[in-house]
């Protein structure tokens, strides 16, 4: 009965811009587990073009205001009782609007962390180079701690469309066992990614 009710809600949610499927209040995800934020973080080095940036080997300032350096597209932190890592997955160069003063790129990362429990997620960051300054101007992140197979994100360069899948905890879900996922679509408008749809589906 619970699954039947959930499927009904999922079908209804498919036609909405926001998910109508309830979130579990006493879970790790009492609401949407993805965020879409404007950012304003400057990188230390200057670049003549976004295509001159070596994204696989760069010092990144955005993780809780603490910087870390990717080496060959990977960073790992290990200490007793705590482990986390981040990997560069892909880079896409974006067309910009006529009013834009610089060039832009979409950079996709995946991360994992383990301590008392484990977590995984994805990050999509929009970076621009304007007047030689590399800046982060938008960050979308999402929770991939659910059973849905790979990948949990995709980008179509032909339509400039980003799709992510983020955990959706419904009432009764434990941290280990997430019943659903929000499939969220964003479209590039020449300066940033704007959410255009959300659909909630059952996870595996």
Ordered by start, the domain boundaries in the chain are 2-202
| pLDDT recorded at residue 65 | 53
**Strand, helix or coil for residue 50:** helix
In the chain, alpha helices (H): 2-13
The answer to whether 106 and 160 have CB atoms below 8 angstroms apart is no
User: Rounded distance, CA 53 to CA 129, Å?
Assistant: 9
Please name which of 84, 67, 68 lies closest in space to residue 76, comparing C-alpha atoms.
84
d(CA 77, CA 64): 15
DSSP state at residue 10: H
Mean pLDDT of the chain: 83
4 SS3 class: helix
Q: What is the pLDDT of residues 128-171, one digit of tens each?
A: 998 899 999 999 999 998 876 678 899 999 999 999 999 998 88
Give the burial class of 181: count Cβ atoms within 10 A of its Cβ; 0-12 exposed, 13-18 middle, 19 or more buried.
buried
Higher per-residue confidence, 115 vs 121: 121
Residue 164 CA to residue 145 CA, distance in Å, equals: 13
pLDDT single digits (tens) 67-98: 789 999 999 988 887 888 999 999 999 987 66
Mapped onto helix, strand or coil, the DSSP state of residue 11 is: helix
Place of tokens 């979130």: 23
Q: Is the pLDDT of residue 5 over 70?
A: no
Q: Is residue 123 within 8 Å of 145, Cβ to Cβ?
A: no
* pLDDT at 126 (0 to 100): 97
Per-residue burial over 145-159, b if 16 or more Cβ lie within 10 Å, else e, is bbebeeebbebeeee
What single DSSP character describes residue 47?
Answer: -
In the DSSP assignment, the letter for residue 22 is P
Dihedral in degrees, nearest 10, Cα atoms 129, 130, 132, 134 = -40
- Under 8 Å between Cβ of 178 and 168: yes
User: 15: pLDDT confidence band, cut at 50, 70 and 90?
Assistant: very low
What's the pLDDT score for residue 151?
82
């Amino acid at each position: 009965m619970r699954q039947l009710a959930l499927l009904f809600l999922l079908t209804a949610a498919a036609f909405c811009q926001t998910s109508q499927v309830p979130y579990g209040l006493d879970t790790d995800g009492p609401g949407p587990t993805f965020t879409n934020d404007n950012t304003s973080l400057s990188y230390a080095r200057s670049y003549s073009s976004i295509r001159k940036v070596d994204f696989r080997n760069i010092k990144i300032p955005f993780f809780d205001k603490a910087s870390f350096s990717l080496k060959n597209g990977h960073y790992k932190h290990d200490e007793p009782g705590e482990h986390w890592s981040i990997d560069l997955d892909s880079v896409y160069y974006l067309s910009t609007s006529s009013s834009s003063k610089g060039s832009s790129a979409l950079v996709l990362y995946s991360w994992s962390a383990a301590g008392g429990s484990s977590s995984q997620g994805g990050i999509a960051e929009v970076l621009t180079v304007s007047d030689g300054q590399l800046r982060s101007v938008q960050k979308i992140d999402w929770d991939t701690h659910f059973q849905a197979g790979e990948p949990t994100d995709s980008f179509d360069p032909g339509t400039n469309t980003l799709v992510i899948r983020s955990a959706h905890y419904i009432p009764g879900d434990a941290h280990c066992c997430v019943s659903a996922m929000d499939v969220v679509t964003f479209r590039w408008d020449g300066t940033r990614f704007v959410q255009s749809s959300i659909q909630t589906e059952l996870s595996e």
